[in-house]
Amino acid sequence: MKPGTLLAQAALSAFAAQGARAAETEPSFCCDALESAGFGEIIHYPGGDAYEARQQAYWSPLARLQPGCIIQPGRAEEVSTIVKTLVLANKTQPCQFAVRSGGHTTYGGAANIDGGVTLDLGFMNSTTYFANNQTAAIQPGARWGSVFRTLDNAGVASAGGRAASVGVAGLVLGGGNSFYSARKGLVCDNVANFEVVLANGEVVFANRETNADLFQVLKGGSNNFGIVTRIDLQTFDRENVWGGIVGYPISTAGLHSKALVNFGEKLADDPYASTIMILLYHSARGFPFIANAYEYTKPVERPPIFDEFMAIPGNFSSTMRITNMTDITEELEQPVGFRWKFMALTFQNDERIIKKATELFHKMIESIGDADEWYFSPMFQPMPASFAKHSAANGGNILGLDRFTENNILFLYDVGWMSEENDELFHKLSEQYVEDLDSYAKSIGKSNLFVYLDYADPTQDPLSTYGHANIQKMRAAAAKYDPDRVFQTMVPGGFKLSKVRVPEDEEQHDEL
Ligand SMILES: Cc1cc2nc3c(=O)[nH]c(=O)nc-3n(C[C@H](O)[C@H](O)[C@H](O)COP(=O)(O)OP(=O)(O)OC[C@H]3O[C@@H](n4cnc5c(N)ncnc54)[C@H](O)[C@@H]3O)c2cc1C
Ligand SMILES: *[C@@H]1O[C@H](CO)[C@@H](O)[C@H](O)[C@H]1NC(C)=O
Ligand SMILES: *[C@@H]1O[C@H](CO)[C@@H](O)[C@H](O)[C@H]1NC(C)=O
Ligand SMILES: *[C@@H]1O[C@H](CO)[C@@H](O)[C@H](O)[C@H]1NC(C)=O
Ligand SMILES: *[C@@H]1O[C@H](CO)[C@@H](O)[C@H](O)[C@H]1NC(C)=O
Ligand SMILES: *[C@@H]1O[C@H](CO)[C@@H](O)[C@H](O)[C@H]1NC(C)=O
């Protein structure tokens, strides 16, 4: 596909005029190196249909940066050659690249790059179930909807994402919260084996027996150690689930706060249950409401753990039903087209903090008014101490959640808006919201320092919250598996180990 090279040359002259950018990274040089390595067929350039289609397939418009080219490998061996080619080319000219799977990260630059190369794993999206060892071999660019379709058809289930369009690798490498967390731990705790392309191009396995240190750091350490090209996930026999979304007037917020806290305290006793409490405002509707997602991973209607929620009066809609996981994940999508911002916060399971978050929710609605079309859906997810208990049995993850003995709530700040001119306004008010909520939690002694990477914003530093010992483990693994620092210097996107702001004193850090 040589016409691409012409475009690359056009880009080169454009870049030659822009000295500062060209000095950082030279897209046509790096893309040409990949062309010379024989990848012409799978390289796409700006202006081409394939390039534009892949850009549109980023979930948030804020993630659609302008790489010099996008390369779409189909096999681990190709990923390996691509990495070797770029590392070699980088000795002549800087060749930075991004690694993309589903592309669901909200902010720009986690899985895309301006001017460099985007290594897009979107075509590596198959799921193969093996009955002999009850695992599913899932390629990194698969979406959870397609994973569950395959598993439902095979009569099995696994822990996994809760919205159909979300990518597999990004979610697993950040941890992964699922409907099965109380029963099975995080999604990453269900990995039997990773296939990984290392910085030197070697394709290795990481599991409990082989490269066990790499296995552990991949479970939460994101893109700092290699490129994951296959995830073997443990499965178990499937059952239909009782689940859906129930809409309530905002006047019931107080009852919901109470019910959610009580639910979080009881979850360890009935680990089949899961709830996301969602405050929701869409300016096009014009009024705030509550839209809770309830799921029970057995075909049982209204099990007792949901009694308090079921007694809350006045719901105006309900999709509660017994169905399969494929169907449930299709229901839990958020609308596309908005410029999304996610932020993560953790606090203890305390009603007062949910009330404070609801007050701040109303304040935000007043501040923004109808300045734009926007969609605001902060979410509260119980994260009791029991979630961390399943980790050690499978080689451990690196998130450090086992440090916490309290039952917590994982809070997802979630807002989307339409107009680019409002970017600054939404960033500013959102960061203020999260800071105010965190300060409140601290003021009553109920904050938790953990920042969940899969929900974190670039103003946050999730890896630094995993605890001193885990940061040291990640550093040791990076030094061992990527001694030349390819994933630190050449893959700038996402949360980088080399940028972790390490607290001087571990103890002080842990009680922050
Ligand atoms: C609608 C929606 C629903 C969600 N639901 C859930 C949920 O139920 N549970 C939950 O825990 N989270 C959820 N999330 C958050 C989700 O986990 C993150 O957005 C995650 O990053 C998505 O994975 P991805 O593959 O699409 O990400 P990408 O944006 O493609 O990648 C994310 C990061 O991982 C790195 N990366 C990607 N692939 C690889 C690879 N193969 N090897 C090495 N590094 C790689 C990238 O470089 C990037 O930094 C949801 C997000 C959205 C938008
Ligand atoms: C994999 O990706 C291709 C290209 O986007 C798409 O046509 C196909 O349906 C996807 N397969 C699965 C299983 O999702
Ligand atoms: C499961 O079995 C299949 C088929 O034999 C094999 O290819 C795969 O590597 C196995 N997975 C694990 C995690 O052992
Ligand atoms: C899942 O349920 C939906 C809705 O009932 C149904 O249409 C679909 O065929 C089911 N899929 C599988 C794989 O069982
Ligand atoms: C919703 O309200 C109806 C009517 O009051 C009630 O019968 C139903 O049980 C409620 N559903 C839930 C899930 O609370
Ligand atoms: C890539 O090139 C940059 C710029 O010369 C350099 O700083 C970096 O260390 C190089 N990285 C590797 C892995 O060679």
**Which residue, by CA, sits nearest to atom 5 of ligand 4?**
323
- What is the pLDDT, as a whole number, of residue 511? 39
Question: Residues 154-168: what's their mean pLDDT?
Answer: 98
Q: Is the CB of 490 under 6 A from ligand 6?
A: yes
Cα dist from 238 to 17, 234, 478, whole Å: 59, 12, 37
Q: Which residues contact 62 (CB under 8 A, 6 or more apart)?
A: 106, 107, 108, 339, 340, 341, 423
246 lines ligand 5 (CB under 6 A): yes
- Ligand in nearest proximity to the CA of 83: 6
DSSP 113-163: -SSSEEEE-TT---EEEETTTTEEEE-TT-BHHHHHHHHHHHTEE----SS
Q: Give distance in angstroms: CA of 163 to centre of ligand 2.
A: 17
Average pLDDT, the chain: 93
Name the CATH topology of 5-120: 3.30.43
> Residues 323, 241: contact at Cβ < 8 Å?
yes
Edge-to-edge strand list for the sheet holding 127-130: 127-130, 135-138, 227-234, 191-197, 203-206
Per-residue confidence (pLDDT) for residue 124, from 0 to 100: 98
Contact (Cβ atoms closer than 8 angstroms) between residue 246 and residue 315: yes
Structure tokens at 25: 């990274």
488 lines ligand 5 (CB under 6 A): no
What share of the chain has pLDDT > 90, as a percent? 92
Q: How far apart are CA 300 and CA 309, in angstroms?
A: 16
- Nearest listed ligand to the Cα of residue 487: 6
Q: Residue 256: what pLDDT?
A: 98
Question: Which CA distances in Å does 505 have to 234, 345, 477?
Answer: 38, 22, 22
Tens digit of each residue's pLDDT (9 = 90 or more) over 323-345: 999 999 999 999 999 999 999 99
CB 382 within 8 A of CB 263: yes
Would you say residue 8 has pLDDT above 50?
no
pLDDT of residue 508: 44
Residue 166 has what DSSP assignment? Answer: S
Q: For residue 261, what pLDDT is reported?
A: 98
Q: Is the pLDDT of residue 10 over 50?
A: no
Residues 6+ apart with CB under 8 A from 269: 305
The vertex-317 CA angle with 316 and 318, nearest 5°, equals: 140
Q: Is 245 in the pocket of ligand 5 (CB under 6 A)?
A: no
Assess whether the C-beta atom of 472 lies below 6 angstroms from ligand 5: no
* 27 — pLDDT class (breaks 50, 70, 90): low
**Is 350 strand, coil or helix?**
coil
CA 138, CA 121: separation in Å to the nearest integer? 12
Is residue 318 within 6 Å of ligand 5 at its C-beta? yes
Mutational test site, ligand 1, from 79, 414, 454, 463, max ligand atoms within 8 Å of CB: 454
pLDDT at 2: 30
Closest CA to 120 of 62, 53, 172, 33: 53
CA proximity to 190, closest of 217, 159, 144, 214: 159
Does residue 16 surpass a pLDDT of 60? no
Does the beta carbon of 111 sit less than 6 angstroms from any atom of ligand 1?
yes
How far is CA 414 from its chain centroid?
Answer: 13
34 token code pair = 């990949």
Q: From ligand 1's centre to the CA of 487, what distance in Å?
A: 17
Inform me whether the pLDDT recorded for 182 exceeds 60: yes
Assign a CATH topology to domain 127-237+465-510. 3.30.465
* Terminal Cα-to-Cα distance of the chain (whole angstroms): 55
User: Does 372 have pLDDT greater than 70?
Assistant: yes
Closest Cα to residue 260, out of 300, 294, 303?
294
Instruction: Tell me how far the alpha carbon of residue 168 lies from the centroid of ligand 3, in angstroms.
Output: 19
Residue 153 CA: nearest ligand 4 atom is 13
Q: Is the CB of 416 under 6 A from ligand 1?
A: no
Pairing of strands 117-120, 97-100: parallel
Query: Can you tell me the mean pLDDT for 198-222?
Result: 98
**Would the pLDDT of 262 be above 70?**
yes
Q: How far is ligand 2, taken at its centre, from the CA of residue 415, in Å?
A: 28
Answer whether 485 contacts ligand 6 (Cβ < 6 A).
Answer: yes
Contact 195, 210 (CB under 8 A): no
Question: 144 near 163, Cβ under 8 Å?
Answer: yes
Residue 18 has pLDDT above 50, yes or no: no
From the CA of 232, the nearest ligand is: 3
Check pocket membership of 90 for ligand 6, CB cut-off 6 A: yes
Q: What confidence tens digit (pLDDT) does each residue in 267-284 have?
A: 999 999 999 999 999 999
Same fold, 127-237+465-510 and 241-463: no
**What is the position in ligand 3's atom list of the atom closest to the CA of 193?**
13
- Whether 43 and 51 have beta carbons less than 8 Å apart is answered as no
What is the number of helices (H) and of strands (E) in the chain?
17, 21
CATH among 1.10.3810.10, 3.20.20.70, 2.40.110.20, 3.40.462.20 for 241-463? 3.40.462.20
* Residues 494-512: tens digit of each pLDDT: 999 999 987 654 544 443 3
Kindly tell me the sign of the dihedral angle through the C-alpha atoms of 236, 240, 245, 251. Answer: negative
Q: Whole-angstrom Cα distance, residue 193 to residue 195?
A: 7
Q: Which of 5-9, 115-119, 262-266 has the lowest mean pLDDT?
A: 5-9
For residue 424, how many other CB atoms are within 10 A of its CB? 9
Question: Is residue 13 predicted with pLDDT exceeding 50?
Answer: no
Q: Is the pLDDT of residue 12 over 50?
A: no
Task: Quote the pLDDT of residue 26.
Answer: 54
pLDDT in tens, 45-96: 999 999 999 999 999 999 999 999 999 999 999 999 999 999 999 999 999 9
Whether residue 233 has its Cβ less than 6 Å from ligand 6: no
* Secondary structure (3-state) at 167: strand
Full-model pTM: 0.95
pLDDT at 15 over 90: no
- Which sign does the torsion angle of CA 456, 459, 462, 467 carry? negative
Domain range annotation of the chain: 5-120, 127-237+465-510, 241-463
Q: Which of 394, 78, 8, 41 is nearest to 229 (CA)?
A: 78
Region of poorest pLDDT, from 24-38, 156-170, 275-289, 468-482: 24-38
165 CB near ligand 2 (under 6 Å): no
Measured CA to CA in angstroms, residue 15 lies from 10, 18, 26, 115, 496 at distances of 9, 5, 8, 9, 27
